[in-house]
Structure 1
Amino acid sequence: MKTLKHLIPVVCLLAFFACKDAFTPEVEAKYKNLLVVEGFINIGEETTIRLSRTADLQDWQSIIPEKNAEVRIEGDQGALVQGTTDNNGRCVLQTQNLKLTEHYRLKLTDAKGKIYETDYLETKAAPEIDSVNYKLEGEGFRIYVNTHDQANKTRYYKWDYDETWEIRSDLKSYFEYKNGQVVNRDPNLNITYCWRNERSARILLGSTERLSEDRLTEMPINFVKGNAEKVAFTYSILVKQYGLTQQAYQYLRNIKKNTEQIGGIFDSQPSELKGNVYCVSDPQEQVLGWISAGSMTKKRLFITDKDKPIGRNWLYIRDCQAFNITKDSLDYYMNGNNGIVDNIGDRWLNIIGYVIGDNNCIDCRLRGSNIKPDYWPN
């Protein structure tokens, strides 16, 4: 990737001197359309492998999924698990029966017949997480993890997490508008309580390489603002812990540095990333990504609104106000994003109007799922 590294100082200088003409660097063809391989061979649980292709610099934010690729996990003692990527470039493999005593490699065949693979990988068993806790920091919750390996064998750690939080409708609706008619809502259909999920996007790493004891204390994982919707009612974070080889740790550390710490002319410059996936069909082709194998441990933490201090900066506030309309104007308002909250009757119980509000404030399914997670507290 020498060509790309030589271009970076030029781009920085042009930006520094505020050049008015747009600069579009030429990138060699060999640096375009590279295969990107993401995933972790998760021994004992499901494994998800994601394949995609790099786009041009002018379209760097787009992701091109690698569809219909054959994905195989092969063991050196004969184990085999295989599948095919879907339209999102995602392949879910059932690796619950794989064993830590066997070594595995990933083998890929794209739709054009090109073959990619890793060498057989060292498997790493992740130690148990001691605890996941939070501290009040500023006006939010700082979430951190504590862990250790009594055998002093892990040394290199990676974490990711899944967040889930409860969503509630601000306006209770008893009626809906269907086919030009106002009808009662189905009381058995839940549109009041929903849940939303989000996965971590940052690279979270830790190492005890320079410590005498393989123990990490209060490693920061996430920060949630106190007035965020996530902690308006009940919030859950499931922290997942992985053990890495030194080579995998260094690769992810370089990615973290390249993606999170570059911004100014005095920041560290991008380092060349060489993964452990290579093209068997064309050894000169560059492939991005690092695949590790091992077991994963996890621990869940709940935070509720009762854990928040009293104060306006800890309140989640939405602009969800209902308003009254006349019966004659119902058709006009129902052509927008509104829903019916209730009806308005006169003293003779004749309906003369309606109370309406924004559908996003009425139906929580527009912001999440109304299926309650199995692990959610009552």
Structure 2
Amino acid sequence: MKVKLQHTILKLKKVTFFSVILAFFFLYGCVEEIDFETESFESVLVVEATITNETKLQTITLSRTFQFEEDGPSAESNATVLVTDSMGNQYSFEETDMPGIYQSTTTFAAQLDRDYQLSITTTNGRSYGSSPTTLESITQIDDLYVERETNESGDTGVSIFVDSYNPNEKETYYRFEYEETYKIVSPLRASQNLEVVSLNPPEVELVPKTREEEVCYATKQSKSILLASTNLLAQDRLSRYEVRFIERINPIISQRYSVLVKQSSISRDAYRFYEKLKSFSESESLFSQVQPGFIEGNIVSLENDTEKVIGIFNVASVSSQRLFFNYSDLFAEDESPGTFVDDCLLTRPELPLLVNQIESGLIKFALEPTGPGNREIGFGPYLIAQTPCIDCTVFGSNVVPDFWEE
């Protein structure tokens, strides 16, 4: 079967970092057109497992690799998943309503200087286990702050920095993740909507709005692998680590912005695993002539030394902080922010076209006209605008997050 390069890249974009690795097992070159014949396929277990020092229901994800003809990785369901520690404690995990996602049956937190091991038995009877893994240190975020910056490309924006310090003076390896939430305000506002009353003859009427469409909020998770280490520093102190840079014209900071940064202190083995994963995901060409091959983690088959397993069992300490800022906190009044919608021109389509646009969801009522109209904007009964100009739910949710502060 022949697959165009663009189509192949699109398929890679749909999967997680762990699953992306699997694509490399079946790639042997990079030309305009690639022949793929999936004559043989190795179904490999993919494990995403991190337990932390947070007292909570811990989560482990199991899936299987997939062929290029398939849409994505398949969940590994009905497995038996256990975590045991060196004190003889055993923590069982059960599959949730989400296939392949397993959650501990009780809340627990990883403890310092205690070995933990993961064991998995799949529905076909195969057994897998991790090497002993220890929570080596607990490091807190000292400070999370934002500053106006200009990046290496000359773009003006904001940088989100983290300072962290481990008083135990042990080298520390970090992984960072963030969850950003931003406020969206519709550029145009209206208290009414247009509703189609009749298609034949075409007829519409104004009705009061029944939901909030002026102010919304969107939340996004980080997708990059963010790593840092203090092993080459004189002190175990991380200073001005840049978690995120956002250009000034990015509309996500045009109103009010919040970010929750999670810092995980991980083992050296976990750091090396994620470092390799990061280098693959950021390589200039996914189809480079030198293929990365298999990334070995700390999880193996207990029955077959040659069977591949992808993933790592990690025990980490976690520290989190949140910050808020407004666009006006960092930029002057004459520095206009970016917008989610480039053009919000008002027009007056006549009835047959107006009904079609309302039915398709393309437009929203903006204003009742005060003049006769003209050829440029039309002669219809109402002034309308594109839906994204008036309805912020196109970009986010109209429900205020529980943590939000103005």
TM-score tier, shorter chain, comes to 0.7 to 0.9
Match of 1:100 among 94, 97, 111: 111
Matches within 5 A, 1:1-378: 11=29, 15=30, 22-24=34-36, 29=41, 32-44=42-54, 45-56=56-67, 58=68, 62-76=72-86, 77-87=88-98, 89-93=100-104, 96-101=107-112, 102-135=114-147, 136-137=149-150, 138-178=155-195, 180=197, 182=205, 184-186=207-209, 189-261=211-283, 263=285, 270=292, 272-310=294-332, 311=334, 314-316=337-339, 318=341, 319-326=343-350, 330-342=354-366, 344=368, 353-378=381-406
Stretches of structure 1 that go unaligned for 5 or more consecutive residues are none
Task: Return the alpha-carbon distance in structure 2 between the equivalents of residues 120 and 95 of structure 1.
Answer: 21
- SS of match in other structure, 1:289: strand
Is the contact made by 1:322 and 1:357 (CA closer than 8 Å) also made in structure 2? yes
Counterpart contact for 2:76–2:99, Cα < 8 Å: yes
Shift of 1:370: 1.6
What percent of counterpart residues are identical?
24
Deviations 1:78-133 (A, max 9, x none): 24242205445333447643341543323333343433332332123431111122
Query: Contact (CA 8 Å) 2:157, 2:247: kept in 1 or not?
Result: yes
1:268 and 1:329 mapped to 2: Cα distance?
Answer: 56
Instruction: Give the secondary-structure state (helix, strand or coil) at the position aligned to 1:230.
Output: helix
Which region of structure 1 is more displaced relative to structure 2, 356-365 or 337-346? 337-346
Question: Match of 2:58, SS?
Answer: strand
The offset of 1:21, in angstroms, is 5.9
Conserved? CA contact 2:280–2:286, under 8 Å:
no
Shift of the alpha carbon at 1:233? 0.6
Q: TM-score, normalised by structure 2?
A: 0.76
- 1:73 & 1:182 partners in 2: Cα distance? 62
Which amino acid letter does the alignment assign opposite residue 117 of structure 1? Answer: G
Instruction: Give me the whole-angstrom Cα distance separating, in 2, the residues matched to 1:150 and 1:159.
Output: 20
Q: Is the 8 A contact 2:160 2:243 kept in 1?
A: yes
Counterpart of 2:49, as a letter, is G
Helix, strand or coil at the partner of 1:324: coil
C-alpha distance in 2, partners of 1:73/1:36? 17
1:224 to partner: Cα distance: 0.9
Q: What RMSD over aligned residues (CA atoms) do the two structures have, in Å? A: 3.3
TM-score by length of 1: 0.81
**Partner Cα separation in structure 2 for residue 346 and residue 256 of structure 1:** 58
Q: Quick one: distance in 1 between partners of 2:176 and 2:187?
A: 35
Q: Structure 1's 22 and 98: CA in aligned 2 closer, same or farther, altered over 3 A?
A: closer
- Alpha carbons of 1:297 and 1:154: their partners in 2 closer, same or farther (altered >3 Å)? farther
* Unaligned residue ranges in structure 2 (runs of 5+): 1-22, 198-203, 372-379
> How much has 1:226 moved relative to structure 2?
0.9
Confirm or deny: 8 A CA contact 2:110 2:315 kept in the other structure: no
CA deviations on 1:286-334 (whole Å, 9 max, x unpaired) are 1101121132001112231113434557433622333223456542321
Instruction: Compare 106-115 and 261-270 and name the one that shifted more.
Output: 261-270
CA distance in 2, matches of 1:329, 1:7: 51
The 1:333/1:247 distance shift into structure 2, 3 A limit, reads closer
Task: Write the deviation string for residues 32-60 of structure 1: whole angstroms up to 9, x where unpaired.
Answer: 3211111311232443322222223x459
**Which residue identity is paired with 2:339?**
Y
Cα offset, 1:67, TM superposition: 3.8
Contact in 2 for aligned 1:43/1:95 (Cα 8 Å): no
